[in-house]
Amino acid sequence: MEKIIIFDTTLRDGEQAPGASLNQREKLEIAHTLSALGVDIIEAGFPITSEGDFESVRAIARSVKGPVICGLARAVKKDIDAAYQATKVSRRPRIHVFLATSKIHMKYKLKKAEDEILRLAVQAVKYARKYCADIEFSPEDASRSERSFLFKVVRAVIEAGATTVNIPDTVGYAEPQEYGSLISAIKENVLNIDRAIISVHCHNDLGLAVANSLEAIKNGARQVECTINGIGERAGNASMEEIVMAIKTRKDIFSGLATQIKTNQIYKASRLVSKLTGFSVAPNKAIVGGNAFRHESGIHQDGILKERSTYEIIRPEDVGFTGRGLVLGKHSGRHALVERLKELSINLSQKQVGNVYLRFKALADKKKNIFDDDLISIVEDEAKTISPIWKLESFVINSGTDIAPCARVNLKYKHKILSAQSSGDGPVDACFKSIDKITGIKGELQDYRIEAVTKGKDALGEVVLKLKAKGKTVTARGSSTDIIEASVRAYINALNKIENL
């Protein structure tokens, strides 16, 4: 297998994203995680920019073993000196020098002509080469540079000692076919290109960073510069996890190519970077998003349960995803519900499953996701009720600060709907009194508790109460996103228990 080198720039380009600043401890933690992940090169920072960045790069170079530790530098001596001083303690240091080569950058940013840019590039590489043998050169904004000049610069820096030449799509301007053809053209027109590795560094301004990187690999690039979760300046960089999993998953397209990334560590690395930078991962983000391996559609769930490959091209465990794949929500079917009940070791009859399913669908219409605790509460509330005599049909509450609470409750008894209305000290008390009128049973409330079953504003509330009636005392539960409904259900369940004792 031919190796694709993974150059991770999360700690350099990724940290340049506004608001993503990391302290030295956080950078070290990420660097060790990247090493465990199996990245080949860690671009640890831009040492000249600050004393803090210099010290962070040096700390990483000193303590992180395995990957090459790289420092970025402009094509000026003081930058190169700083990059070397920060990385020299590493067993495998690299200096990464960059200089813009596009007309727009040369004219407006650098105010220099092509000949001077060429001279500065060669001079910088030669100077860096005095420090170490592993030198990377990037002609910044390469995708918008004139090809003939770009070829000249690449050839010259290789001659000067660069061992890797990176072709950045600095502003995410390139389109995949265009970018792939650029890599192919470099291979065809730079006579000494076989003496260096072609690298690519793509930004995501048009959402094409990963597509451009993969197209470059098809055309001969063998190093990819990327970040965890695709973080970086503006719209970010090419996402490391997407590139790695595309190569691994589509072996028919990337035949004979592989990375050394331990993919089962991807999810862990993603969560760490998200936590330390404060950048949330979008739920629909490929590979590491919260919904990447979750299925709510009943049709999809049925397919997954029968054969995973029907709707999953990557196994969740391959990237270290440990959450449940089947999400119980309003689109879920009976099959998924039954499967989750089995996972929870809940054994129900077909009739009981039917009752739970109806309650589950009703709850799913009120909240986005149904959690295990929600389901257990529904089962305890509904499925375990013995021979229900009274069933809640509906209720209406009229309550406020300036009016006495009043409730109308409709209960189903055999094949009839019975109604009663009553006022009370509060909406719950009014409901209980209405139920007493319908059933003819005077209940004495011994205890009443309410608590949230799950988190969030749409959390399921559970009421647990103790009721004494007809000389019997029972405990019953009721649950709903509406605490009054939960109370009513608990009271009815208690009456049904009493009637069945």
Output the CA–CA distances (angstroms, integers) from residue 431 to 300, 382, 434, 473, 497, in the order listed. 41, 19, 5, 20, 19
Report strand pairing: 164-169 vs 135-140: parallel
Q: What is the pLDDT of residue 362?
A: 80
Domains along the chain?
2-277 (3.20.20.70), 298-368 (no CATH), 385-500 (3.30.160.270)
CB 410 within 8 A of CB 435: no
Q: What is the pLDDT of residue 495?
A: 93
User: Is the model more confident about 297 or about 48?
Assistant: 48
Q: What is the pLDDT of residue 383?
A: 47
Kindly report, residue by residue over 175-197, the tens digit of the pLDDT: 999 999 999 999 999 999 999 99
CB 6 within 8 A of CB 259: yes
| Mean pLDDT of the region 29-43 | 97
Kindly report, residue by residue over 94-133, the tens digit of the pLDDT: 999 999 999 999 999 999 999 999 999 999 999 999 999 9
CB 477 within 8 A of CB 464: yes
Output the CA–CA distances (angstroms, integers) from residue 156 to 78, 123, 255, 311, in the order listed. 22, 10, 32, 50
Kindly indicate the confidence band of residue 281, based on its pLDDT and cuts at 50, 70 and 90.
Answer: confident
pLDDT of residue 134 exceeding 80: yes
Residue with token string 């770009």: 150
CB 301 within 8 A of CB 332: yes
Kindly report, residue by residue over 13-22, the tens digit of the pLDDT: 999 988 888 8
Report the share of the chain in percent with pLDDT over 90: 66
